[in-house]
Amino acid sequence: MVEVNEYFDGSVKSLEVSAEDGRKTVGVMQPGEYDFETETTEIMTVVFGEISVYYEDEGEWEDYGVGASFDVPAESTLKVKTSQDSVYLCEYE
């Protein structure tokens, strides 16, 4: 079954599916800055566009383009921004 998720007044939307190897979402972010609270460890891969991630302990943003992946720790705040419509794949562990 596919579930539709919507965040930030529709600026971020994703489709969620449970696969044999775990839960996954494919989503679209419109330009903006967003904070997400995570429950489980996630691996995010940029499919289209560019997503910047803020690393608080380093005090700086890191940019991820098409094909790049980054890990998101469980029970943390993920701070991201994008200047263009961007598509991502999120795999939950």
pLDDT over 90 percentage in the chain:
88
What is the total count of domains within the chain? 1
Average pLDDT over residues 33-54: 97
| SS3 at position 8 | helix
Average pLDDT over residues 82-90: 98
CA atoms within 13 A on the CB side of 17: 8
CATH number for the domain spanning 46: value is 2.60.120.10
Residue 1 pLDDT exceeds 80: no
Separation between Cα atoms, residue 30 and residue 93, nearest integer Å: 26
Q: Domain range holding 88?
A: 3-92
